[in-house]
Structure 1
Amino acid sequence: MSDTTSLGHIYNVLFLCTGNSARSLMAESILAKDGHGRFRAFSAGSQPRGSVHPLTLTTLRSLDYPADGLRSKGWDEFAAPDAPVMDFVFTVCDSAAGETCPVWPGQPMTAHWGIEDPAAAEGTEIEKEAAFARTFRYLKNRISAFTALPIRSLDTLTLGARLHEIGRGEGATSPRRDVA
Protein backbone atom coordinates (compact mmCIF):
# COMPACT_ATOMS: atom_id res chain seq x y z
CA MET A 1 0.00 0.00 0.00
CA SER A 2 1.01 3.68 0.12
CA ASP A 3 2.98 5.70 2.67
CA THR A 4 3.04 5.81 6.44
CA THR A 5 3.22 8.72 8.88
CA SER A 6 2.95 9.15 12.62
CA LEU A 7 -0.81 8.77 12.06
CA GLY A 8 -0.27 5.38 10.43
CA HIS A 9 -0.80 4.31 6.85
CA ILE A 10 -1.79 6.92 4.22
CA TYR A 11 -4.17 5.44 1.64
CA ASN A 12 -4.25 6.65 -1.98
CA VAL A 13 -7.81 7.02 -3.28
CA LEU A 14 -8.82 7.72 -6.89
CA PHE A 15 -12.32 8.95 -7.80
CA LEU A 16 -13.29 8.33 -11.42
CA CYS A 17 -15.93 9.82 -13.66
CA THR A 18 -16.25 10.37 -17.37
CA GLY A 19 -15.70 14.14 -17.63
CA ASN A 20 -13.81 14.85 -14.38
CA SER A 21 -15.45 18.26 -14.09
CA ALA A 22 -17.80 17.92 -11.10
CA ARG A 23 -18.46 14.74 -9.03
CA SER A 24 -14.99 13.19 -8.99
CA LEU A 25 -13.37 16.56 -8.30
CA MET A 26 -15.80 17.23 -5.45
CA ALA A 27 -14.97 13.84 -3.98
CA GLU A 28 -11.25 14.58 -4.27
CA SER A 29 -11.70 17.86 -2.40
CA ILE A 30 -13.93 16.39 0.31
CA LEU A 31 -11.55 13.52 1.04
CA ALA A 32 -8.55 15.85 0.96
CA LYS A 33 -10.11 17.89 3.79
CA ASP A 34 -12.09 15.27 5.71
CA GLY A 35 -9.49 12.50 5.45
CA HIS A 36 -7.47 14.15 8.22
CA GLY A 37 -4.13 13.20 6.67
CA ARG A 38 -5.00 9.49 6.49
CA PHE A 39 -5.84 9.63 2.77
CA ARG A 40 -4.34 11.14 -0.36
CA ALA A 41 -7.16 11.97 -2.79
CA PHE A 42 -7.04 12.05 -6.59
CA SER A 43 -9.60 12.27 -9.38
CA ALA A 44 -9.66 11.62 -13.10
CA GLY A 45 -11.94 11.02 -16.05
CA SER A 46 -12.10 8.55 -18.90
CA GLN A 47 -12.87 11.42 -21.30
CA PRO A 48 -11.95 14.54 -19.32
CA ARG A 49 -13.65 17.77 -20.31
CA GLY A 50 -10.43 19.66 -19.76
CA SER A 51 -12.01 22.20 -17.43
CA VAL A 52 -13.62 22.24 -14.01
CA HIS A 53 -17.33 23.14 -14.01
CA PRO A 54 -17.65 26.64 -12.47
CA LEU A 55 -20.37 25.47 -10.05
CA THR A 56 -18.02 22.77 -8.74
CA LEU A 57 -15.60 25.49 -7.64
CA THR A 58 -18.39 27.74 -6.33
CA THR A 59 -19.92 24.91 -4.29
CA LEU A 60 -16.62 23.79 -2.79
CA ARG A 61 -15.53 27.31 -1.86
CA SER A 62 -18.92 28.19 -0.36
CA LEU A 63 -18.63 25.16 1.94
CA ASP A 64 -14.98 25.88 2.82
CA TYR A 65 -13.49 22.96 0.87
CA PRO A 66 -10.28 23.23 -1.15
CA ALA A 67 -10.75 24.19 -4.79
CA ASP A 68 -7.36 25.60 -5.72
CA GLY A 69 -5.34 23.33 -7.98
CA LEU A 70 -8.27 21.14 -9.03
CA ARG A 71 -8.03 20.26 -12.71
CA SER A 72 -9.79 18.00 -15.18
CA LYS A 73 -7.45 15.17 -16.21
CA GLY A 74 -7.48 11.73 -17.81
CA TRP A 75 -7.28 8.48 -15.88
CA ASP A 76 -4.31 7.36 -17.96
CA GLU A 77 -2.23 9.70 -15.75
CA PHE A 78 -2.82 7.26 -12.90
CA ALA A 79 -2.08 4.11 -14.90
CA ALA A 80 1.43 5.31 -15.83
CA PRO A 81 4.43 3.51 -14.32
CA ASP A 82 5.44 6.53 -12.20
CA ALA A 83 1.91 7.20 -10.89
CA PRO A 84 1.03 6.75 -7.22
CA VAL A 85 -0.19 3.23 -6.44
CA MET A 86 -3.87 3.38 -5.53
CA ASP A 87 -5.36 1.57 -2.57
CA PHE A 88 -8.95 2.39 -3.51
CA VAL A 89 -10.65 3.35 -6.79
CA PHE A 90 -14.26 4.56 -6.75
CA THR A 91 -16.38 5.35 -9.81
CA VAL A 92 -18.90 8.11 -9.14
CA CYS A 93 -20.77 7.99 -12.44
CA ASP A 94 -22.50 5.11 -14.17
CA SER A 95 -20.85 5.58 -17.55
CA ALA A 96 -17.32 5.38 -16.12
CA ALA A 97 -18.32 2.28 -14.17
CA GLY A 98 -19.35 0.61 -17.42
CA GLU A 99 -16.11 1.41 -19.23
CA THR A 100 -13.04 -0.75 -19.33
CA CYS A 101 -10.73 0.86 -16.81
CA PRO A 102 -6.97 0.70 -17.04
CA VAL A 103 -5.24 -1.97 -15.02
CA TRP A 104 -4.35 -0.24 -11.78
CA PRO A 105 -0.98 -1.17 -10.30
CA GLY A 106 -1.27 -2.70 -6.84
CA GLN A 107 -4.76 -4.17 -7.37
CA PRO A 108 -6.74 -1.54 -5.45
CA MET A 109 -10.13 -2.22 -3.89
CA THR A 110 -12.88 -0.85 -6.12
CA ALA A 111 -16.54 0.11 -5.73
CA HIS A 112 -19.18 2.05 -7.63
CA TRP A 113 -20.64 5.10 -5.87
CA GLY A 114 -22.83 6.44 -8.70
CA ILE A 115 -24.52 9.81 -8.27
CA GLU A 116 -26.41 11.90 -10.86
CA ASP A 117 -24.29 14.42 -12.73
CA PRO A 118 -25.02 17.92 -11.41
CA ALA A 119 -23.44 19.38 -14.55
CA ALA A 120 -26.37 17.91 -16.49
CA ALA A 121 -28.94 19.71 -14.31
CA GLU A 122 -31.33 21.97 -16.16
CA GLY A 123 -33.45 24.84 -14.97
CA THR A 124 -32.77 28.08 -13.20
CA GLU A 125 -29.40 28.98 -11.73
CA ILE A 126 -30.80 28.22 -8.26
CA GLU A 127 -31.92 24.75 -9.41
CA LYS A 128 -28.47 24.09 -10.86
CA GLU A 129 -26.79 25.27 -7.65
CA ALA A 130 -29.13 22.97 -5.68
CA ALA A 131 -28.06 20.01 -7.84
CA PHE A 132 -24.40 20.70 -7.02
CA ALA A 133 -25.19 21.11 -3.30
CA ARG A 134 -27.10 17.79 -3.33
CA THR A 135 -24.19 16.05 -5.07
CA PHE A 136 -21.78 17.47 -2.51
CA ARG A 137 -23.99 16.17 0.34
CA TYR A 138 -24.24 12.66 -1.15
CA LEU A 139 -20.47 12.49 -1.69
CA LYS A 140 -19.71 13.88 1.77
CA ASN A 141 -21.98 11.24 3.34
CA ARG A 142 -20.25 8.43 1.42
CA ILE A 143 -16.78 9.74 2.22
CA SER A 144 -17.68 10.16 5.91
CA ALA A 145 -18.81 6.51 6.01
CA PHE A 146 -15.63 5.47 4.19
CA THR A 147 -13.25 7.39 6.47
CA ALA A 148 -15.01 5.94 9.54
CA LEU A 149 -14.27 2.36 8.45
CA PRO A 150 -11.64 0.52 10.49
CA ILE A 151 -9.79 -0.27 7.25
CA ARG A 152 -6.77 -1.97 8.79
CA SER A 153 -8.86 -4.31 10.93
CA LEU A 154 -11.28 -5.49 8.24
CA ASP A 155 -10.56 -8.49 6.04
CA THR A 156 -10.68 -7.88 2.28
CA LEU A 157 -14.09 -9.50 1.78
CA THR A 158 -15.73 -7.51 4.57
CA LEU A 159 -14.08 -4.27 3.47
CA GLY A 160 -15.24 -4.83 -0.11
CA ALA A 161 -18.81 -5.44 1.04
CA ARG A 162 -18.77 -2.28 3.16
CA LEU A 163 -17.44 -0.20 0.23
CA HIS A 164 -20.23 -1.47 -2.04
CA GLU A 165 -22.80 -0.83 0.69
CA ILE A 166 -21.63 2.80 0.97
CA GLY A 167 -22.24 3.20 -2.78
CA ARG A 168 -25.88 2.18 -2.35
CA GLY A 169 -26.58 5.13 -0.04
CA GLU A 170 -28.92 8.06 -0.60
CA GLY A 171 -28.72 9.42 -4.14
CA ALA A 172 -27.33 6.21 -5.67
CA THR A 173 -27.96 6.01 -9.40
CA SER A 174 -27.20 2.35 -9.94
CA PRO A 175 -27.84 0.28 -6.81
CA ARG A 176 -26.99 -3.05 -8.44
CA ARG A 177 -23.61 -2.22 -9.98
CA ASP A 178 -20.82 -3.23 -7.63
CA VAL A 179 -17.66 -3.01 -9.71
CA ALA A 180 -15.54 -0.17 -10.95
Structure 2
Amino acid sequence: MGKPMVLFLCTGNSARSQMAEAFLRQHAGNIYDAHSAGLNPQGVHPLTIQVMQEVGIDISEHQSKSLTQYLGKASPKWVIFVCEKAESSCPHVWPFSLQSESWRFEDPVDSVGDDLERIMKFRSVRDQIETRILDWISKNKISSETENQFEFRE
Protein backbone atom coordinates (compact mmCIF):
# COMPACT_ATOMS: atom_id res chain seq x y z
CA MET A 1 0.00 0.00 0.00
CA GLY A 2 1.31 3.48 -0.89
CA LYS A 3 1.60 6.52 1.29
CA PRO A 4 -1.70 8.19 2.25
CA MET A 5 -2.47 11.23 0.11
CA VAL A 6 -2.99 14.67 1.63
CA LEU A 7 -4.53 17.35 -0.59
CA PHE A 8 -4.29 21.02 0.44
CA LEU A 9 -6.89 23.27 -1.19
CA CYS A 10 -7.12 27.05 -1.53
CA THR A 11 -8.36 29.58 -4.03
CA GLY A 12 -5.42 30.27 -6.32
CA ASN A 13 -2.90 27.56 -5.39
CA SER A 14 -0.36 30.36 -5.38
CA ALA A 15 0.69 30.69 -1.74
CA ARG A 16 -0.89 28.92 1.27
CA SER A 17 -1.58 25.52 -0.27
CA GLN A 18 1.83 25.54 -2.00
CA MET A 19 3.53 26.25 1.34
CA ALA A 20 1.56 23.51 3.10
CA GLU A 21 2.39 20.96 0.40
CA ALA A 22 6.09 21.86 0.52
CA PHE A 23 6.29 21.73 4.32
CA LEU A 24 4.54 18.36 4.50
CA ARG A 25 6.94 16.98 1.89
CA GLN A 26 9.90 18.46 3.77
CA HIS A 27 8.90 17.20 7.22
CA ALA A 28 7.09 13.94 6.42
CA GLY A 29 7.38 13.17 2.72
CA ASN A 30 8.47 9.67 3.64
CA ILE A 31 5.06 9.11 5.30
CA TYR A 32 2.60 11.22 3.27
CA ASP A 33 1.99 11.93 -0.42
CA ALA A 34 1.45 15.73 -0.38
CA HIS A 35 -0.42 17.63 -3.09
CA SER A 36 -2.11 21.01 -3.48
CA ALA A 37 -4.66 22.55 -5.80
CA GLY A 38 -6.85 25.61 -6.19
CA LEU A 39 -10.29 26.61 -7.41
CA ASN A 40 -8.77 29.12 -9.82
CA PRO A 41 -5.03 28.48 -10.24
CA GLN A 42 -3.08 31.72 -10.50
CA GLY A 43 0.52 30.53 -10.74
CA VAL A 44 2.89 30.31 -7.80
CA HIS A 45 3.38 33.81 -6.39
CA PRO A 46 7.01 35.03 -6.54
CA LEU A 47 6.96 35.96 -2.84
CA THR A 48 5.84 32.42 -1.99
CA ILE A 49 8.90 31.09 -3.77
CA GLN A 50 11.12 33.66 -2.03
CA VAL A 51 9.93 33.01 1.54
CA MET A 52 10.12 29.25 1.10
CA GLN A 53 13.67 29.61 -0.25
CA GLU A 54 14.51 31.55 2.93
CA VAL A 55 13.81 28.38 4.94
CA GLY A 56 15.69 26.15 2.52
CA ILE A 57 12.79 24.80 0.46
CA ASP A 58 12.94 25.32 -3.30
CA ILE A 59 9.48 25.44 -4.89
CA SER A 60 10.56 27.41 -7.95
CA GLU A 61 9.55 24.50 -10.21
CA HIS A 62 6.08 24.09 -8.62
CA GLN A 63 3.06 24.77 -10.79
CA SER A 64 -0.43 25.85 -9.75
CA LYS A 65 -2.84 22.99 -10.20
CA SER A 66 -6.59 23.01 -10.61
CA LEU A 67 -8.94 21.10 -8.35
CA THR A 68 -10.26 19.41 -11.50
CA GLN A 69 -6.96 17.51 -11.77
CA TYR A 70 -7.95 15.63 -8.63
CA LEU A 71 -11.76 15.40 -8.62
CA GLY A 72 -12.76 11.87 -9.49
CA LYS A 73 -9.15 10.93 -10.18
CA ALA A 74 -7.55 10.83 -6.75
CA SER A 75 -8.53 9.42 -3.40
CA PRO A 76 -6.95 11.57 -0.72
CA LYS A 77 -7.07 10.32 2.84
CA TRP A 78 -7.11 13.95 4.03
CA VAL A 79 -8.44 17.07 2.30
CA ILE A 80 -7.26 20.18 4.12
CA PHE A 81 -8.77 23.55 3.25
CA VAL A 82 -6.37 26.42 3.93
CA CYS A 83 -8.85 29.17 3.09
CA GLU A 84 -12.50 29.89 3.71
CA LYS A 85 -13.41 30.46 0.06
CA ALA A 86 -12.10 27.06 -1.03
CA GLU A 87 -13.82 25.37 1.87
CA SER A 88 -17.20 26.92 1.06
CA SER A 89 -16.89 26.32 -2.70
CA CYS A 90 -15.41 22.84 -2.85
CA PRO A 91 -17.28 19.57 -2.69
CA HIS A 92 -17.49 18.34 0.87
CA VAL A 93 -17.78 14.70 -0.09
CA TRP A 94 -14.64 13.22 -1.55
CA PRO A 95 -14.85 9.58 -2.57
CA PHE A 96 -12.61 7.57 -0.26
CA SER A 97 -11.45 10.67 1.65
CA LEU A 98 -11.46 9.72 5.30
CA GLN A 99 -11.07 13.20 6.75
CA SER A 100 -11.31 16.86 5.90
CA GLU A 101 -9.99 19.70 8.00
CA SER A 102 -10.21 23.47 7.93
CA TRP A 103 -7.04 25.47 8.47
CA ARG A 104 -7.93 29.05 7.62
CA PHE A 105 -4.92 31.25 7.02
CA GLU A 106 -4.97 34.85 5.88
CA ASP A 107 -4.13 35.14 2.19
CA PRO A 108 -0.74 36.87 1.91
CA VAL A 109 -1.38 37.55 -1.78
CA ASP A 110 -4.06 40.04 -0.71
CA SER A 111 -1.71 41.93 1.60
CA VAL A 112 -1.21 45.61 0.98
CA GLY A 113 1.61 47.96 1.82
CA ASP A 114 5.16 48.44 0.72
CA ASP A 115 7.50 45.62 -0.25
CA LEU A 116 8.67 45.06 3.33
CA GLU A 117 5.12 44.84 4.69
CA ARG A 118 4.12 42.36 1.98
CA ILE A 119 7.14 40.08 2.50
CA MET A 120 6.54 40.18 6.26
CA LYS A 121 2.95 38.99 5.70
CA PHE A 122 4.17 36.11 3.51
CA ARG A 123 6.73 35.16 6.19
CA SER A 124 4.11 35.29 8.93
CA VAL A 125 1.71 33.03 7.02
CA ARG A 126 4.58 30.70 6.09
CA ASP A 127 5.55 30.31 9.74
CA GLN A 128 1.95 29.72 10.82
CA ILE A 129 1.59 27.01 8.18
CA GLU A 130 4.80 25.28 9.18
CA THR A 131 3.74 25.25 12.83
CA ARG A 132 0.36 23.79 11.88
CA ILE A 133 1.98 21.14 9.66
CA LEU A 134 4.33 20.06 12.46
CA ASP A 135 1.43 19.86 14.93
CA TRP A 136 -0.65 17.89 12.41
CA ILE A 137 2.18 15.43 11.74
CA SER A 138 2.64 14.90 15.47
CA LYS A 139 -1.09 14.40 16.06
CA ASN A 140 -1.51 12.00 13.17
CA LYS A 141 1.59 10.04 14.09
CA ILE A 142 0.10 9.51 17.56
CA SER A 143 -3.26 8.54 16.03
CA SER A 144 -1.61 6.06 13.68
CA GLU A 145 0.41 4.51 16.49
CA THR A 146 -2.72 4.21 18.64
CA GLU A 147 -4.66 2.58 15.80
CA ASN A 148 -1.81 0.12 15.24
CA GLN A 149 -1.93 -0.94 18.88
CA PHE A 150 -5.43 -2.28 18.31
CA GLU A 151 -4.75 -4.19 15.10
CA PHE A 152 -5.35 -7.90 15.39
CA ARG A 153 -2.46 -9.97 14.18
CA GLU A 154 -2.43 -13.65 13.42
TM-score by length of 1: 0.75
- Paired AA for residue 128 in structure 1: R
- How far did 1:19 drift? 0.8
> Partner residue of 2:64?
72
| Alpha-carbon separation, structure 2, partners of 1:118 and 1:35 | 25
Q: 1:61 aligns with which of 53, 64, 75?
A: 53
Which residue of structure 2 aligns with residue 141 of structure 1? Answer: 131
Q: For each residue in 1:27-51, what CA deviation from the matched residue of structure 2 results, as whole angstroms up to 9, or x when unmatched?
A: 11111101151111100001212x1
Unaligned runs of 5+ in 2: 148-154
Counterpart residue type for residue 63 of structure 1 = V
Does 1:112 pair with 2:102?
yes
How many residues matched? 145
1:17 and 1:148 mapped to 2: Cα distance? 23
Matched to 2:23, the amino acid is: I
Structure 1: 5+ residue runs without aligned partners?
Answer: 4-9, 156-180
Q: Give the alignment's TM-score, normalised by structure 2.
A: 0.87
Query: Quick check: which one's helix share is greater?
Result: 2
Task: Find 1:23's aligned residue among 16, 20, 25.
Answer: 16
Indicate the residue corresponding to 2:121 in structure 1: 131
Percent identity reads: 31
Deviations 1:73-99 (A, max 9, x none): 111111133x3x211110001111111
